[in-house]
């Protein structure tokens, strides 16, 4: 017995062909008049595309059917009939001809596409590979609260929610709680879970909700140790995808390349000079814009033969660098912070954290915040915390770059952006 969706139906008079689809692929059902019962033959002719049906019968070799076999039906049951006039236009479900916006409006249908299914099977395998990497490296998996009292970063990019008689916020990251666990002596923790950013960006790379891969580790001797973990995590994930997702990668038409060398580590000051040599005018003291990130990766690939590049030592004054990042001892205008850029897109942000209470309290004020506002967090550091650092990686961006997708919404099961809250 087989069951699935009716993907295609061809009626040649005395013979009817039906392509049945489930999550594993497709199977041709062939009904010849006089060979199958008249009730089965007639019922196949009245089916609508995307109806859900079950067949019992015999699978036989076929020289013409896709996959080299076909099913000759004995019995058929219609489990659910689909209406005609399907709103998403697809002749073949792996070649969608409908706009992304319309596909997202009818996401439940769009996800029937083998192409869409393949994206999320790869994403599932990515999450599994990363999870196994951290467990094998001795990290403890944690699940921190997504309702918080204060913003982790800018207070302008949080979603307020009613919390009884108080206002709470959806967490921008598990950062504060990862560091709390460093103060508790956990030493190595990771979390894969949702985070929320109230950013009014309508771009192919931004979301208001995404899945963040976070870790924090203690007793580091510098932020290079954090980059070592990020690099090992990414290499492990790509290697496992290449090994385990060949069917999905072929369907999507991509061949991810395993990194052949260590990821270059280039300071922001070096990056400014690199881009200026290419005729660009980066703003010193600021992050690279999307054009700058593209140019940075082009230069890294040209010079080092690597699609990945770490941007390191960000300006302390940059609005994107939080108050808890550690500053360079002899050059306090620069911070032990990094981004990992892959094929022109930032996928990871991380660095070493300031773990000394008085310095952390001072930096909070220097960034324009009242230390009293963050006292619950600052209290973590009053009784001794090991040197530590960590990072956050966007799972959707990682999937997007791995598969060469044009829009992050394609790698997001249910995208949330400033204009979309359903389905």
Q: What is the mean pLDDT of the chain?
A: 94
CATH of 2-86, one of 1.10.3720.10, 1.20.1050.10, 2.40.50.140, 3.30.70.260: 2.40.50.140
- Rounded CA Rg of the chain: 26
Q: What is the structure's pLDDT at 336?
A: 98
> Can you identify the CATH homologous superfamily of domain 114-411?
Bira Bifunctional Protein; Domain 2 (3.30.930.10)
Which pLDDT band holds residue 297 (cuts at 50, 70, 90)?
A: very high
Which pLDDT band holds residue 89 (cuts at 50, 70, 90)?
A: confident
> What digits encode the pLDDT tens for the residues 244-270?
999 999 999 999 988 888 999 999 999
Domain assignments of the chain as residue spans, ordered by start: 2-86, 114-411
Q: What does the block give as tokens for 15?
A: 């013979």
What phi-psi label fits residue 71: left (phi over 0), alpha (psi between -120 and 50 degrees) or beta? beta
Q: What is the structure's pLDDT at 181?
A: 98
Q: What is the structure's pLDDT at 383?
A: 97
Q: Is the Cβ–Cβ distance between 323 and 377 less than 8 Å? A: no
pTM of the model: 0.94
Q: Where are the alpha helices (DSSP H) in 49-155?
A: 100-105, 107-110, 114-136
Q: What does the block give as tokens for 223?
A: 């932020």
């Amino acid at each position: 017995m087989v069951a699935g969706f009716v993907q295609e139906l061809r009626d040649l008079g005395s013979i009817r062909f039906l392509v049945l689809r489930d999550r594993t692929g497709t199977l041709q059902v062939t009904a010849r008049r006089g060979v199958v019962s008249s009730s089965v033959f007639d019922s196949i002719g009245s089916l609508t595309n995307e109806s859900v049906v079950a067949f019992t019968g015999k699978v036989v070799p076929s020289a013409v059917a896709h996959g080299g076999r076909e099913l000759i039906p004995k019995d058929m049951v219609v489990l659910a009939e689909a209406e005609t006039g399907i709103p998403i236009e697809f002749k073949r479900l792996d070649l969608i001809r409908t706009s992304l916006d319309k596909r997202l409006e009818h996401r439940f249908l769009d996800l029937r596409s083998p192409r869409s299914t393949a994206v999320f099977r790869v994403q599932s395998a990515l999450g599994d590979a990363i999870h196994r990497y951290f467990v094998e490296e001795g990290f403890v998996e944690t699940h921190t609260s997504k309702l918080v009292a204060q913003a982790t970063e800018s207070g302008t990019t949080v979603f307020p929610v009613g919390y009884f008689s108080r206002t709470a916020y959806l967490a921008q990251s598990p950062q504060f709680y990862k560091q709390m666990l460093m103060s508790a002596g956990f030493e190595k923790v990771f979390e894969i879970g949702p985070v929320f950013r109230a950013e009014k960006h309508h771009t192919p790379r931004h979301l208001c909700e995404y899945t963040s891969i976070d870790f924090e580790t203690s007793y580091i001797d510098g932020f290079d140790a954090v980059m070592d973990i990020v690099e090992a995590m990414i290499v492990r994930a790509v290697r496992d995808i290449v090994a385990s997702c060949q069917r999905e990668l072929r369907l999507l038409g991509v061949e991810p390349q395993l990194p052949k060398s260590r990821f270059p580590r280039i300071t922001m000051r070096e990056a400014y000079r690199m881009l200026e040599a290419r005729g660009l005018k980066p703003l010193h003291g600021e992050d690279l814009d999307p054009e700058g990130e593209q140019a940075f990766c082009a230069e890294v690939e040209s010079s080092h033969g690597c699609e990945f590049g770490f941007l390191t030592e960000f300006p302390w004054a940059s609005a994107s660098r939080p108050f808890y990042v550690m500053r360079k001892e002899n050059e306090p205008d620069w911070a032990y912070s990094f981004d990992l850029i892959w094929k022109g897109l930032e996928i990871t942000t991380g660095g070493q954290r300031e773990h000394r209470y008085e310095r952390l309290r001072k930096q909070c004020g220097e960034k324009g915040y009242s230390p009293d506002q963050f006292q619950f967090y600052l209290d973590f550091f009053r009784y001794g915390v090991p040197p530590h650092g960590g990072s956050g990686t966007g799972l959707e961006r990682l999937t997007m770059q791995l598969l060469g997708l044009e829009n992050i919404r394609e790698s997001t099961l249910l995208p949330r952006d400033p204009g979309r809250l359903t389905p």
